[in-house]
Amino acid sequence: MTSYRSLSLIPTFSNYLPDRITQMDRLFSRLTGEKPLGDNPAYNLRQKDKNHYELTFSVPGYSQDELEISVHNHQITISGKASDEKNESEDEKEGVKWLHQGISKNGFSVNFSLEHRITIQQATLDKGLLALQFIYEIPEQEKPQKIPIGVQNESGCVIEHNAA
């Protein structure tokens, strides 16, 4: 139920291998009747500008109370726990019988390792999409610095160039 992934802002060179593994996982799940290992919510990662990113999960049917986001030791965990017991007891009181229930809301937990430069700013849930806004900050001391180059003439004086 738990899968660990490294949240990297560098795109992978190919999506071919993960797609093949997912297809094989689904095939074996159909043969054995077991739940697929990769049965976690689909997600998108998009870059909004140089430092701002958005990680969006597809969590249809989940309410705010059924979702949890936590960060500990540069590890973010997004989990969902369905509260079906409450709905079933309400249905029993109203005399409702399920003849077929093909839409299932299974619990999930997804973990990402975060770099120390990533800061989660906010999380929002809208129309079945859980969006996490985060910023990737590079401290000034770690940014590349441009060093001006001076030129010395034969007298030992430094000649500077002014772009005025």
Between CA 132 and CA 126 the distance in angstroms is 11
What's the pLDDT tens digit per position in 33-83? 765 655 678 889 999 998 899 999 999 889 999 999 999 988 999 999 987
- pTM of the predicted model, to two decimals? 0.60
pLDDT band at 141 (very low <50, low <70, confident <90, very high): confident
In whole numbers, what is the pLDDT of the chain averaged over residues?
A: 78
| pLDDT band for position 130 (cuts 50, 70, 90) | very high
Neighbours of 75 (CB within 10 A): 13
Helix (H, G, I), strand (E, B) or coil at 101: coil
